[in-house]
Chain A
Amino acid sequence: MVVDSDIDRIFHALADATRRDIVTRVLQRPHSVSELAAGYAMSFAAVQKHVAVLERAALVSKSRNGREQLVSGEVDTIGRARELLGRYERLWHARANAIDALLAAENDTNNEN
């Protein structure tokens, strides 16, 4: 369950290109942190920090597999962020339809005269 105060953290976490790339990769399949680090021109520690930011925003979760830590994507959280903008999108559809209805009513009046 994602509450309001978490939402800013989600968007902040997703504002970084490397972190978005990590999310994309771990949504396809879980990756170990060392596997992830091999894909970027930055230190293992820097990648670990990015993973920690994503984990605090509940965009990824970590689990232990023997000696390795596996990072997996949290589909529900990403869906929540998209859903918010989707709701605002529906408001704009309603506005556009209301404008269209006003223009149509105006045309009818003009045609009657």
Chain B
Amino acid sequence: MPVISSTRDPEARSLTIVCEFAAPVERIWQLWEDPRQLEKWWCPEPFPATFETHDLTPGGTSSYYSTGPAGEFQRAWWATTAVDRPHRIEFDGGLADNDTKAPDPDGSMHGVVTFESVELGGRPATRLTAVTVFDSVPYLEKMLAMGHEEGSKMALNQIDGLLAEVLA
């Protein structure tokens, strides 16, 4: 499993996830910077994301929507607040009104993601640390209601299926 640790802090409404990937930092950075690559993993199947705009530079904004198998449609926003390429990204984000694209007044989240060069089995690898802080818990509830949770379960099942094939 690529996730090596996760820490929940209910008092601070935050979650810290540390993952390691078998690819150099520059490659992992591209997965965040290129909207066509980002949308392949940001909202796991079957709720894929489509980024209409994505600008991973300080002050840059992104607009995306997620669709679901039963016709679900939800717009969301992302505003990059600080960047130290390819080591660190800070951004605010949240749900948006489907018609006006205005940020949802119920709240937002703040993310700080750091990318660190490490070695895995003598090969260059990346340790990614993602800290997410929610400014309101009702917003966290609402975001999860977007269907992310079902998507996560399905993505995990897909991985299990792949493993079963490899081990067979």
What is the bound-complex CA distance between A89 and B1, given in angstroms? 14
What is the bound-complex CA distance between A102 and B155, given in angstroms? 13
A14 touches B155 (CB 8 A): no
Closest to A95 in B: B41
Q: Could you tell me how many residues of chain A have their Cβ less than 8 Å away from some Cβ of chain B?
A: 32
**A20 close to B (CB within 8 Å):** yes
**B42 close to A (CB within 8 Å):** yes
What is the bound-complex CA distance between A8 and B151, given in angstroms? 26
Q: What total count of A-B pairs have CB within 8 Å?
A: 117
**B98 close to A (CB within 8 Å):** no
Contacts of B162 in A (CB 8 A): 101
**B87 close to A (CB within 8 Å):** no
Contacts of A78 in B (CB 8 A): 10
Among A7, A91, A102, A103, contact of B141 (Cβ-Cβ < 8 Å): A7
**A29 close to B (CB within 8 Å):** no
Q: Could you tell me how many residues of chain B have their Cβ less than 8 Å away from some Cβ of chain A?
A: 44
- Consensus secondary structure, chain A interface: helix
Query: A20 → chain B, closest Cβ, in Å?
Result: 7
**A46 close to B (CB within 8 Å):** no
**A35 close to B (CB within 8 Å):** no
What is the bound-complex CA distance between A96 and B23, given in angstroms? 13
What is the bound-complex CA distance between A7 and B41, given in angstroms? 29
**A1 close to B (CB within 8 Å):** no
**A11 close to B (CB within 8 Å):** yes
A102 touches B31 (CB 8 A): yes
Contacts of B112 in A (CB 8 A): none
B10 touches A82 (CB 8 A): yes
**B159 close to A (CB within 8 Å):** yes
Residues in chain B within 8 A of chain A (CB atoms): 1-3, 6, 8-15, 17, 19, 21-23, 27-28, 31, 37, 40-42, 44, 130, 132, 136-138, 140-141, 143-144, 148-149, 151-153, 155-156, 158-159, 162
